[in-house]
Structure 1
């Protein structure tokens, strides 16, 4: 509903009333010419100079200095007994001095929760509850609203905000880390890890003497790979530390078809140089790498050529589930006409035929069905595949048709591949739930080492 006002005074009165009722502040914008603004600045400058010369209005406070006694006295000449802001329960509860968490028990609680990687919003919710219980237990006379709940009364806790929690967590983290730098803490943690029998850690540096790749492998990881080297899964994830290092991991399947990590690598980026560092460290400490026959990768893996060169005896595949999910999303994009330009369900059936084709002829039949759906071209078995016209067909032939051996079933005929890398992605999701982008690099490494020790036991 639109309201119209007869004057600006009526509008400002209504706006002030609305701000007080909704506890909001609206910024008023107006267009002021340069000449008008310059006049105002000149007026303010003239008022400031008149103050300095003693010709301005009287000060609210007068300060006297006694040079003989070395004392300073100050007394007021004007007193204002009214507040320049609204008063109420909401303003009192949200004042910084009343929101501050300074009770030792609550501070220790925040320290424990932050060390356990709890989310800030959950910490804030817990603090509001615990601070109310703390006030009741200690019989503190705090200003807090009283609410009735199942015929009992509960003192609501301090109204700590999300920014208060972040500030407190950052303060406790700085106290916990001490004066040592991230590099010093990381170096000490890696040395401690390598003191255990069979554990290895490698740090690769660039020309600027900066770490670009860090690899971790425990003794149990090496045992797992030695026992099950035939099929290896490769995947990467991001947002695991504040240094923006990518987590690149190798995984195998044990006798119970459970995924087991065999190496973790933290890389500055997914460049060929960093990947070569991770692979070289893996080869150095795992002499049975030549027994690997199949490597299953994700659809976003960019350095496939490097992987094929380093593991020339193995074949690389893209899992079925990644292919179908990715193409299903790609078909709905506007640049390919959206869902209205093609029959999505029938197109998915044609792609599924190509995925499950055990021979090249079966793959070609599914491809010709896709041509019939999108380009309306009827092709017989002996007809060659024409040049695609539909934008999605052009994308498909350019990006997927050229590497059909990687994802079609006929390309992996007679080779054990254990289906797909869903287990690897499930484990990556498990890691991403624990590793956070706010963690330091040393915290990330320490968490990876701890998680691997838990999986081992």
Structure 2
């Protein structure tokens, strides 16, 4: 498949790092086809936020309460948005257009899609047992954009399509790897130390199982180790790695 080029100023990527195929993941439908189910999730109670951190906190709470899971597919950062504003400005130099305060708001907008977005994969006889693809073509999505309300900048939910073509339930929600591997920072710190001593994956699995309230498979541990390895490369200190791990779970980009 040839990747499509993203529009100027945008980056396009899935922001959660879990594999689409998960060991032990049974799928959201229990035998029902995607065309036979239509579930409308409740709306978010809050639609305006003072910061991306406030939005993310509200989103995490909303997802847990409604058993939805979104990932950030696209985003434009504020620097790119400011550049575009200034490039398109036709006025005089004394009345420059309002630009986004980049230090306060790293991103201009985000598009979030249901974790079951994407064309279903039809795998052959070589599919490993108990391993399923999440993709069922769900079109639920959320657009979030930074706007100036006349007094200050606000992050607003500008569009929220809440219709899913799969079940929304606590048992399905708890199967998602991102939910299962949301570990306390002290456990993450110890896992990092185990990695620095080249501990085996099974030893890490036993430690996490005994010290965190999570039912993790070995596939989850492999995903966790891969995620931490990437973070260790970009954040050399233990404190930095823990902070980056927590932000990566809460942030989209």
TM-score, reference length from structure 1: 0.18
RCO comparison, higher one (Cα < 8 Å, 6+): 2
Larger helix proportion, structure 1 or 2?
1
TM-score, reference length from structure 2: 0.29
Larger strand proportion, structure 1 or 2?
2
Of structures 1 and 2, the larger Rg is shown by: 1
